[in-house]
Structure 1
């Protein structure tokens, strides 16, 4: 389900506003979650911190999920590079890997509280680094 959402969200032009929207989800958890008892953070990120590497099945699932994120985002970045929207000084896979680290890092930090404005500034820095 998340993959379909990601593919749909990134099948747009211009790409950078869609990428920013995806990256801001962890920084906007206070807006997105209003019920006190609802778990916070990303399921894959939480699984990573709680079960990997002790659980080989969880490790395989998480590895596959991260790989799919990179593949989907790299495909969108490749199209944006061809359109001249995104810098081509780095490979789309390296750019996608960086974005994975940003979104998962924000998901993890959001569990302990998050300076929302600092998080959004970091996201903007990451997105601006992709611009031509």
Structure 2
């Protein structure tokens, strides 16, 4: 049964879950019709194409980054904030029974560099993280917690890369060694931030 009235964001959220589970290429229009409870005509009239719906879904997923930015903006130790973020990423991967991973990481691997519009949206996501992390690292440098002889922007980019690396490792490795692999990455990433002991 197709619903006569709907909000595009609700349809995009439903579609996002399908793209997240199956990937862009493997998701059919019929999958989207069934998953959103909308007719083909409603989908095409609202989003123009599968690609248009995917872009809207990716923008909706990007909104979840606000929670990460809020975490990084909390008071206290800058290194502790980064640790909390990386531990959260690792926990997400270790408890992801569906093995869906991160939609941004999945999309970057599937379409990044091959689809200009999607690549632009991915860049917006990574830039948001980079800006928030740069501000946090600058705060840590001012407090003497993070080495001041390193570029805060370069360190922020390294942490963004670490986040994506954790996502990929989380999906690529399973079994008893997986937690240790992820924790090793986190420990080395945090060590790269800290000031050398006198």
Same fold (TM over 0.5): yes
SS in 2 for 1:41: coil
Partners of 2:169 and 2:182 within 8 A in 1 = no
Superposed counterparts of 1:112-123, under 5 Å: 112-114=172-174, 115-123=178-186
Q: Deviations over 1:79-100 (max 9, x none)?
A: 1111111111111100001101
The count of corresponding residues between Structure 1 and Structure 2 is: 128
Gaps of 5+ in 1: none
User: Larger relative contact order (C-alpha < 8 A, sep ≥ 6)?
Assistant: 1
Partners of 1:121 and 1:40 lie apart in 2 by 23
Aligned to 1:30: 94
My pick for the range that moved more, 19-28 or 74-83, is 19-28
Q: Please show how residues 1-132 of structure 1 align to structure 2 within 5 Å.
A: 1-11=63-73, 12-28=75-91, 29-31=93-95, 33-34=96-97, 38-114=98-174, 115-132=178-195
Q: Structure 1 residue 39: deviation in Å? A: 4.7
**Which secondary structure state, in structure 2, belongs to the residue aligned with residue 129 of structure 1?**
helix
Q: What is the root-mean-square deviation of aligned Cα atoms in Å?
A: 1.6
Please, what TM-score do these two structures have when normalized by structure 2? 0.60
Shift of 1:20: 1.1
Is the 1:26–1:41 contact (alpha carbons within 8 Å) kept by the matching residues of 2? no
Unaligned stretches of 5+ residues in structure 2: 1-62
- Return the alpha-carbon distance in structure 1 between the equivalents of residues 88 and 101 of structure 2: 9
Mark the structure with the bigger radius of gyration: 2
| Contact map agreement 2:111 2:118 (CA 8 A) in 1 | yes
